[in-house]
Structure 1
Amino acid sequence: MKNFKILPYTLLLGLFLLAGSCTEEFAEINTDPNNPVTISPALLLPNAIQVSVDRYWGHSTRFERLNIDAAMCWIQHLARNIYINAEGDTYEIPITVSTGTWDNLYNSSLVNLEQVIELAGEGGEFENRNYEGIALVMKAFTFSYLTDAFGPIPYSEALKGAAEESINSPKYDSMEEVYAGVLADLKLANEKLSINGPVVNGDIMFDGDILRWKKFANSLRIKLANRQAVKKPAESRAIMQEILASPETYPIFTGNDDYAELKHANVIGSRNKMFDVFSTRSDWNISTTLVDKLLELDDDRISVYALPLGDGSYKGLPNGLTDAAASTISASTIGQKFLDPEAPSILMTYSELMFILAEAALDGDIAADHMEYFEEGVRGSFAQHGLEMPADYIGKLGSVDKETIMTQKWIALFGQGIEAWTEYRRTGLPQMPTPDPNSIFVNEGVLPTRIEYPPSEYSLNMDNLQGGIQMLGGEDNMRSELWWAE
């Protein structure tokens, strides 16, 4: 009887096992390897980095180029010689600049970076602290870029459209709250990033060099702390002092070999986007403001930033001229370095960090000699372009005050128009010359302080948008000052 009783259970068990096996095989057979349910961080990271970089440095989509069409003209690195009143030089920009910046950074960059953090975080499907750290750095960079361009933005409730408790109409957070969040993320990123940790793939920025990511995280943290220093002095000083006091724990840029840049290949889709724009159009010249300053200082960087005229001289174009007036002036165009399809897109340089520390030292936020950082910043900028700073260059600048530091920083930031624009909006430096008598500016003649929110927010997130505008402390126009303005 025992054998008789055991037999059915054995057969039943076998049937269950067979059924389970068939189910597993069925699932395997019907899983499309070309359409995976979950995408790995290695596939999400490259596009997320690329979009953030392109929207900061430059990209090919006309009427959406905040850096090339707007910021580089507003900060008088470039000037337009045609379409002047339609694409930035007179302080007027199409709303597509706002829409393109907002939509691409949120929908193509940040949403993917957030997914990388979820997948690579503790307990995630692809747990890997280095993916998590890299995504935190790029997320902090991208959110800081957005808030510096617009002001209050969706932050704490953003990127939750696919969450278990989805939020499709996120609230706006103040710039102070956004800064607190990104500064915390950068500190966490430095803790997560492990030089001897797991390997990462898809890192198109530093090719898996985790030390460079740590240096970028800490250098960016110093920059953002310095930017908010007037509003939150004690906290900002503590952040900068913490980093500088422990270089082994908090490494920062130490030279031009390790600053944050994205290198390119001469392949369509991968080329330096400034090459795509400037090599096919001749709408831009170098601004008179920049040319005159470089000639005044006998500064060799002019040979990198600008192409000489036929007689070997350099001449700039005043900003804000009408198309008719600009067409009568022969002026220098952008230098050959920026016409190289393999030239890098730059997010933050060694020289920029040195100027930040020079300012912090001058302001008493760190205990250091501001002149040492200042001279290293100027020297680093020359070296970045393969030039040697003349031995008498610093001496020709006279007494080094905050305007001297910010003027040299403005010169060094050529190409990073958004960064130079942000620093001008923050400090009001360098002082810009009186406009050309033939120039015509809109926006009540005010150099834009921000860009307007995109129309989609008015139609899809109106109630929360009104809260953001209220936190802005002004109207949704290009004249309301941002939180960190001094």
Structure 2
Amino acid sequence: MKKTTYILGTCLLAIQFLFTACDDFIDINDDPNNPTVPQLSLLLPATQLSIAGNFDNINRGASNVIQHRAAGSLNRYDQSGTTFQAAWLGFYTQAIPDLETIIQEGTAQSSWGYVSIAKIQKAFLYSTMVDVWGDVPYFDAAKVADPKFDKGEEIYNDLIGLIDEALSDMDRGFTVVSSSDLFYQGSKLKWQKMANSLKLKLYMQMRLVNPERSKLAISNLVQAGVLIDNNSDDFTFLFGTNAAPNTRHPWFTTGYAPGRDGYVSMVVVDRLKEQDDPRLRYYIFRINAKAGLANSQVGEGYYGRYPGDGAASPADQNTRAIVGIYPAAGLYDNGAMPSLGDDNIFLNNIGAATGTTGNSFKIALFANGDGSGAGILPLLTHAMVKFYRAEAALVLNTGEDAGLLMNQAVAAHFQAINELSPAFPIAPATSTGFINRLSEHFASATAQGKLELVMMQKWIAMYGNGVESYNDYRRTGLPELQDLIAPLDVFPERFYYSETELTSNETVVDTRDQLQRNQQIVPVFWKK
């Protein structure tokens, strides 16, 4: 996994350009602080910061819908016009105008490296927006005051062409200042792999629309071989350690603050325990060794909530379990779990601290680099690509070995965890044993059972990217979600639009109420 560290000066410059990049860069003086020509090396990191920073808003919502977390209104399927307004405005006022500027000015300057990266990022961003919102302004966005909303399927098809353009642009010349590229430090090959992997993802998303088209495209991409095939190629954003300005992982910032932020999902706890999965110690950190549900003192520290629990929160900030070392670079939980028995082989109490939790190890952990908040946002990774290919092998008959691909995906995810937890890695024997057991389960499963196993393992691995699991669930119906305790609405097929957009964009003002309701009940185009 590529680790990009924040440098304070670069961060501040990039943040400055988040707000200035869409100006015309016109100044009658020759002041170097007010350039008349956009500086692509400053605009590019601004777009990357904007994409990653605003992704958090939709990621939190999706993580609650998909039961990775238990917080906020989406935990009960309730949303409003302000729920995702921050991300909508951030994408349309920051990232998108800057990307269009890079494409336009970079083309004029023949700076094809910047142009190609901007096109790939545009394709990633808009495909994500279609996935969560459906129809969105695309063809007229950043060009007119009231852009019309374009059909999601039309946008997807145009994005595939845009990715192909970017790949062609790379061959016209690829020069990028390494420090201006927070993801890949100007590596042409890594951007090529990311672009092709993004195409594979889009065809996977659309497989229900045109299975034969998706099968052919995915098979060709696999055969060409220029895909993310190593963790070092991951399209992953790494957060920093600074508290002021705050560059730490947003789940760390809210989880380790005195007020906390919602609750951990008991669905995650239960499933990882049931499956004897060692990742539980990395996902969730227990503050109080005896805390149980409803702030009782008769549990073993996993004080979270089940989906749809709308009960008021007691004064429990010092007893709630919180996010662990993955993906937010919190703390590793080395405490004993009294409920584990002889049947637990991979999630066990070997070497665990008796009668306490990893909380007592805070000082040692911080000394080893843990608890820094320098976590990751896994946007498109090696593990994800292997899971796509496993799903394609099962449902599109692409000819690959789905079981092997699933195993490789899980192994890649274990490696990603170890890269965040060098002081407490998952042991090779544990990783090998866990994957061998998965192989046995896969070999004995029915065709449907094989797909269920693949999608459950992907759901577990996508802890940290709820948007991906939200897409998976709507496409496959897997893994099965737990019934909500007290839902306030039906399952949200899409996310609500920004209320600001609906009340200011003249193309939708007259139909905004029905348009907004449709977001809850009408599926995105690729769900058939």
With the shorter chain as reference, the TM-score category is 0.7 to 0.9
Matched, 1:205 2:247: no
1:426-437 alignment to 2 at 5 Å?
Answer: 426-435=475-484
Segments of 5+ residues of structure 1 without an aligned counterpart are 1-26, 59-64, 161-166
Aligned equivalent of 1:127, options 110, 129, 137: 110
Q: 1:31 matched to which residue of 2?
A: 30
Contact 1:151 1:174 in 2 (8 A): yes
Within a 5 Å distance, the mapping from 1:226-245 to structure 2 comes to: 226-245=204-223
Q: In the alignment, which residue of structure 1 is the partner of 2:450?
A: 401
Asked if residue 451 in structure 1 is aligned to residue 495 in structure 2, the reply is yes
Deviation at 1:376, TM superposition (A): 1.0
Q: What residue number does 2:59 align with?
A: 67
Distance in structure 2 (CA, Å) of the matches to 1:137 and 1:466 = 34
* Equivalent-residue separation in structure 2 for 1:179 and 1:30 (angstroms): 43
Aligned 8 A contact 1:285 1:334 in 2 = no
Matching residue of 1:263: 238
Q: Which residue of 2 aligns with 1:310?
A: 289
Distance in structure 2 (CA, Å) of the matches to 1:359 and 1:325: 40
After superposition, the Cα gap between the structure-2 partners of 1:28 and 1:467, relative to the gap in structure 1 and judged at 3 Å, is closer
Contact 2:82 2:499 in 1 (8 A): no
- Whether the 8 Å contact between 2:502 and 2:512 is mirrored in structure 1 is no
- The 8 Å contact of residues 140 and 182 in structure 1, kept in 2 or not, is answered as yes
Aligned to 2:160: 183
Deviation sequence 1:263-321 (CA, Å, 0-9, x none): 23323243323322222142333211111111111000111111145166646421222
1:57-105 CA deviation, whole Å, 9 max, x = no partner? x2xxxxxx2322x22111111113xxx5xx4322223432332121110
1:6 maps to what in 2? none
**Secondary structure at the residue paired with 2:124?**
helix
Q: Which residue of 1 aligns with 2:87?
A: 101
Task: State the match for 1:19 in structure 2.
Answer: none
TM-score by length of structure 2 reads 0.75
Is 1:364 the equivalent of 2:408? no
CA contact (8 A) 2:134 2:152 kept: yes
Instruction: Report what 2:98 is aligned to.
Output: 112
Distance 2:265 2:28 in 1: 63
Contact in 2 for aligned 1:170/1:464 (Cα 8 Å):
no
Distance (Å, rounded) in 1 between the aligned partners of 2:325 and 2:385: 25
1:327 offset after TM fit, Å?
A: 6.8
Query: Alignment partner for residue 320 of structure 1, among 282, 286, 308?
Result: 308
Question: Which residue, 258, 264, 267 being the options, matches 1:286?
Answer: 264
Higher deviation after alignment, 226-235 or 275-284: 275-284
Distance 2:174 2:232 in 1: 22
Structure 1 position 361, deviation (Å): 0.7
Query: Normalising by the residue count of structure 1, what TM-score does the alignment of the two structures yield?
Result: 0.81
Name the CA shift for 1:380/1:129 in 2 (closer, same or farther; >3 Å).
Answer: same
Take 1:105 and 1:270, find their aligned partners in 2: how far apart are those partners? 19
Letter in 2 for 1:424: Y
Separation of aligned partners in 1, 2:512 and 2:392: 30
1:449·1:479 contact (CA, 8 Å) conserved in 2? yes
Inter-partner Cα distance in structure 2 for 1:29 and 1:39: 15
1:4-83 correspondence to structure 2 within 5 Å: 30-56=29-55, 58=56, 65-68=57-60, 70-80=61-71
Corresponding residue number in structure 2 for 1:138: 121
SS at structure 2 position matched to 1:43? helix
Deviation at 1:152, TM superposition (A): 0.7
1:39 partner letter: P
Specify the code of the residue in structure 2 equivalent to 1:321.
Answer: D
1:192-251: per-residue Cα shift (whole Å, max 9, x none)?
Answer: 22597323351111111221111111111101111001102232223212211222xxx1
The Cα of 1:401 is off from its aligned counterpart by 2.0
- Paired with 1:181 and 1:72, the residues of 2 have a C-alpha distance of 28
Task: Verify the 8 A CA contact 1:381 1:412 in the aligned structure 2.
Answer: yes
CA contact (8 A) 2:80 2:496 kept: no
Do the aligned partners of residues 75 and 137 (structure 1) sit closer, same or farther apart at CA in structure 2, a change above 3 Å counting? same
Structure 2 distance, partners of 1:465, 1:256, is 45
**Partner Cα distance (1:404, 1:477) in 2:** 30
Ranges in structure 2 where 5+ consecutive residues have no aligned partner: 1-25, 291-299, 331-371, 419-425
What SS does the aligned partner of 1:385 have? helix
Q: Who wins on radius of gyration, i.e. which is larger?
A: 1
Q: Is residue 380 from structure 1 mapped to residue 412 from structure 2 by the alignment?
A: yes
Cα root mean square deviation, aligned:
2.7
Question: Kindly tell me: are residues 257 and 195 of structure 1, through their superposed partners in 2, closer, same or farther at Cα, counting changes over 3 Å?
Answer: farther
Contact 2:175 2:186 in 1 (8 A): no
In the alignment, the residues of structure 2 paired with residue 468 and residue 134 of structure 1 have an alpha-carbon distance, to the nearest angstrom, of: 35
Instruction: Indicate how the Cα distance of structure 1 residues 475 and 324 shifts in structure 2: closer, same or farther if over 3 A, else same.
Output: closer
Structure 2 Cα separation of the partners of residues 193 and 465 of structure 1: 41
Give the equivalent residue in structure 2 for 1:16.
none
- State the shift of 1:326 in Å: 7.3
Following superposition, the deviation at residue 189 of structure 1 comes to: 1.7
Q: Give the deviation of 1:477 after TM superposition.
A: 3.6
Contact map agreement 1:153 1:468 (CA 8 A) in 2: no
Q: Percent identity?
A: 27
Q: What letter matches 1:176 in structure 2?
A: E
User: Does the Cα contact within 8 Å between 2:120 and 2:162 map onto a contact in 1?
Assistant: yes
2:520 to 454, 461, 478: 478
Cα displacement (A) at 1:50: 0.8
Counterpart amino acid of residue 322 in structure 1: G
SS in 1 for 2:521: coil
Q: What is the DSSP-based 3-state SS (H/G/I as helix, E as strand, rest coil) of the residue aligned with 1:271? A: coil
Q: Deviations over 1:33-72 (max 9, x none)?
A: 221122121111111111111222x2xxxxxx2322x221
The amino acid of 1:103's aligned partner reads L
- Match of 1:346, SS? strand
Which residue of structure 1 lines up, in the alignment, with residue 76 of structure 2? 90
State the alpha-carbon separation in 1 of the partners of residues 254 and 324 from structure 2.
Answer: 13
